[in-house]
Structure 1
Amino acid sequence: MSDNAPSGELQLLRRRKAQLISILSGQADFVLQHADSRSLITPQGYRQIKSCRIPDEKMRDLLDHIIERGPEAAQGLLELLQSQELQETFPKLAFIKSTQADSICFGDERKSRSKRLKKHKKTQEMQEEVVPSKKTFNATLVTEKQLMSVARAIGQSWREVAIIALDIPSVKLEQIVADNPNCQVNQVFTALRHWRNVQGNNATAGSLHSLLSQQHLALPQEAFNFLLDESSPM
């Protein structure tokens, strides 16, 4: 296992290393023999550790050796430390049981959180692949050429669009019709220009597209997609 993702057992041994050395060094050879009997250390490691004359260093080397062997050896040592024989010999080892439980729970929670994050990231990537990349809002001010193109595309329902989407009063619409008799396109264009004048700096191409995209208006959306393109010369 990589050091970048140590198991809960390895973390526990590293975190409690100094405390374990202090507790176990009083009978270092006793602990070494039990560790060897459970095959927690290699034959070469056993010889090297046994040759050490200083109890504290002997325990330090034993812990380092087991940590280097990985999670399986670390788990084996924790099981040894929780055994009845070592618990009776070293009463101060009582802490190891509750500490290991907390460590493993924390490790499981971290793994679960990591899995959730990976799943969420994968879902986002899949959504990005499914949804085509396109501009969803054009923040440039709408031009008169664009307004004229919209006027030509709106059709017979332009009064409904003007009242519901553009919020133009019916009195104003009557005036627009009177000023532009017999030409529906000019009537719609004048209504759109009135909306632009009222909105001022908020009269963007993207904003107009959003208003015309309301489902209940039932307008042909493809006719207004040019409003999303900032490079459109219209």
Structure 2
Amino acid sequence: MVEDPEVQLLRRQKAKLIEILSADADFVLQHADARRLLSPPGYERIKSCRVPSEKVTELLDHVIQRGPKEAKGLFDLLKEHDMQEAFPRLSYAKDLQVQPPTSGEHEKSEKRKSSSEKEDDIPPMKSCRRGCGLVKEKQLMFVARNIGKSWREIGILALNISSVKLDQIEVDHSVHVDRVFAMLRFWRNCQRGKATAPHLHSLLSQDDWALPPESIDCLLETD
């Protein structure tokens, strides 16, 4: 049985979307549920997944199984401003177009074109990770443990994160340190190649929200 074009497109982009959306799987899940792209049982099953990549994988598989309407709905969601802001690497999704069913040589040509576009669309994240000093999760967790009740103020004023996103983080995480860690990871994802440890240190050590030096000195450590 030939799949609908919307489902085919989503399946082709699955691996890439898992890599991108795993940075904040709960954020994607809540938006997908708000658009009724998931069945109630499917939502509960996906929500119970603890590993972000597994949660995104389950979500995409569920949407694929539901059919072309839900697949199109997910692509429409990925093109929304909130999603583009949360996941900068999703910018390529705005140019994705559903191709009508093809056959013969034309179909082979489209597959080659799709493969080429995938390679061109992947941002240079991996090369950036090799030697540009991006802040590590261990450092983020250390800093998260030293940020207290002013975490929302720091998120808005220092890290330029919207209050809507902070509200979502607060809903998704009941433990304070998990909320702060999620906020810092979101900042790192948005900053991409600029998310260096020294840059974060400079943001957290100035103005009224400046943290004690000993709480952020780990950001200046070198391997």
TM-score, length basis structure 1: 0.43
TM-score, length basis structure 2: 0.45
Q: Greater CA radius of gyration, 1 or 2? A: 1
